[in-house]
Amino acid sequence: MHKPTTLFVGLDVHKDSISVAYACEDRDSDVTFVGPIGTLQRDVDKLVRRLQSKASRLVFAYEAGPCGFVLHRYLTGKEIECLVVAPTRIPKKPGDPIKTDRRDTIQIARSLRAGDLDSVYVPSVDDEAIRDLSRAREDGVIDLKAARLRLKSFLLRLGIVYVGRADWSDAHQRFLARVVYPTPVQQIVLQEYLNAITEIADRLKRITVELREHSSSWRLLPLVEAYQAMRGVQDTIAITAAAELGDITRFDNPRQLAAFVGLVPSCHATGKSRRLGAITKAGNSHVRRVLIEGAWTYRHPAKVSEAIRKRVERLPKTIQDIGRKAQVRLCKRFRRLTARGKHPNVIVTAIARELLAFMWAIAREVKISA
């Protein structure tokens, strides 16, 4: 009997088990479902030895999910090919309401054999560590916003409204300290809400300091510094973009990068009709958020502020020129779209897409270590 040279192995990875199926190179052959195995390294080693007795080359694939890249790193460390694929990129039969581990695993193995699967970006251990710290900071920002909103809602229910901009300035906090509440119990509620805001704000400051400190020796630091030649891209935004996307020069052009981040419009075309809709929102939502945040700064006239001047003074002239060109173009585009009556959210999304394209151009001028 002819021994196949390659086995395509599909995995469905869970916290307590891994379901396994494999397919031979012969596309006319059926996919074999092995069943569940444990998640320990010895369980994976046993599976690898079993499958290596059937073929000289193994190719694994599993869905990206909450279990992360531990299995991928372990298999690639043993010089075994392994793909981590996006769940949305795995072909599925329309109208099939049944979903089981067996079916998912068989479908991954079959699609892997057909060449229909592409691996997602897998960061290194150090890159993932910075990304985790960046996401912890983002969680802190979200928690702080929610805590402040809870306090504002509480005050509104009591008919207490701050006349002015409630931006948590010293004047705003002095107002909160002077307010007299109807009952002692409600005073306790206020103090607890204020304590929660203070604790979250302190946590956010600590994480931000740690993020800046640890990124100072990061291999992608040159990329982070170069990104800051762009208006609206401060250090935390630059770190987030670099940690989430890695080396973006792996994309052939900015259009591919924008599609990866989900900033391109959806499209419905049939016959001679072609209609563009909202952005796809595929890919990385963390990058989209910081790009939108940075894009809002282009609503103001173009100007090289003192902060930008300090950020770019040590950068190469080519990168400084890209930053200046981007600011002039994007500020002008913001004004034109506003004059045409476009909705502000539509304008900011378009600016964020072009901002990402300029960041791609900057990344091509930067040399980073492997």
Predicted confidence at residue 134, as pLDDT, reads 97
Predicted confidence at residue 27, as pLDDT, reads 83
What residues contact residue 239 under an 8 Å CB cut-off, 6+ apart?
Answer: 130, 134, 211, 212, 215, 224
Predicted confidence at residue 275, as pLDDT, reads 85
Check residue 207 and give left, alpha or beta (phi > 0: left; psi -120 to 50: alpha).
Answer: alpha
pLDDT, the chain, mean:
92
For residue 322, pLDDT beyond 70 = yes
364 falls in which pLDDT band (50, 70, 90)? very high
Predicted confidence at residue 4, as pLDDT, reads 59
Separation of alpha carbons 4 and 94, rounded Å: 32
CA 298 to centroid of chain Cα atoms: 23
Per the DSSP assignment, residues forming a β-bridge with 83 are: 61
Structure tokens at 43: 């369980």
Percent of the chain with pLDDT over 90: 77
Surface-to-core class of residue 104, CB atoms within 10 Å of its CB (0-12 exposed, 13-18 middle, 19+ buried):
buried
143 falls in which pLDDT band (50, 70, 90)? very high
Predicted confidence at residue 370, as pLDDT, reads 62
Predicted confidence at residue 3, as pLDDT, reads 57
For residue 1, pLDDT beyond 50 = no
Q: What is the pLDDT of residues 48-78, one digit of tens each?
A: 999 999 998 999 999 999 999 999 999 999 9
165 falls in which pLDDT band (50, 70, 90)? confident
Separation of alpha carbons 355 and 121, rounded Å: 21
Provide mean pLDDT across the span 133-156: 95
